A = this chain, B = another copy of it.
Amino acid sequence: MKLAKVAGTVVSTISAPTFDEQRLLLCDFLSLDGEAVGGYVIAVDVVGAGVGETVLILDEGTGARQIMEMKVAPIRAVVVGIVDDVDA
Contacts and interface: CB of A to CB of B under 8 A. Distances in A.
Chain A contact residues, majority secondary structure: strand
Interface in A23-54: 24, 26, 28, 31-32, 40-43, 46-47
How many copies, total?
A: 5
Interface string A65-87: 11100001111111011111111
A66 B72 contact: yes
Interface residues of A, number: 52
Given A1-B76, A74-B58, A76-B58, A9 B87 contact: yes
Nearest to A83: B12
Contacts of A56: 10, 12, 14, 24, 42
5 contacts: A8-B86, A10-B88, A11-B83, A16-B67, A28-B32
